[in-house]
Amino acid sequence: MQHLVDGFAATLTATLDPPLVSHCCDVGASCFAAASIDQAICAFELLGTPGPPGSVCDGATGDCVLPPGTGGPCCALSSLSVCSAGPTLDPANCFAAGGLDYPMAVCVPSGTCEAR
């Protein structure tokens, strides 16, 4: 009987307190963030390194850092719900891709740029 109670408690805990997943991917001089980015997409599609759970993509450094981040160039592609940030981000390329450029922002896990 105890194993049933333990199983129920474990299922309930996993449901109410799911493990955090990183939605930020560091790809060198820049990083990406989106709700759809997980460890597999980061490693195998973007060839990057997942940031810590809950991290933001910092525009100043291009790294996945814990909030709030310092802010820098950020490009939001709202049609894809993804953004990219980093010091080498070119606003012209952002506009050409249909994105919105933010000069002082971080890229948050929802895939949008948040002003800093």
Say what the pLDDT of residue 22 is: 86
How confident is the model over 67-86, as pLDDT tens digits? 999 999 999 998 899 999 99
Beta bridge partners of 24: 33
- Parse the chain into domains and list their residue ranges: 23-115
How confident is the model over 13-41, as pLDDT tens digits? 555 555 567 899 999 999 999 999 999 99
The model's pTM is 0.80
Query: Within 13 Å, how many C-alpha atoms sit on residue 63's CB side?
Result: 8
The SS3 of residue 102 is strand
How many CB atoms neighbour CB 53 within 10 A? 14
Q: For residues 87 and 110, what is the distance between their CA atoms, to the nearest angstrom?
A: 21
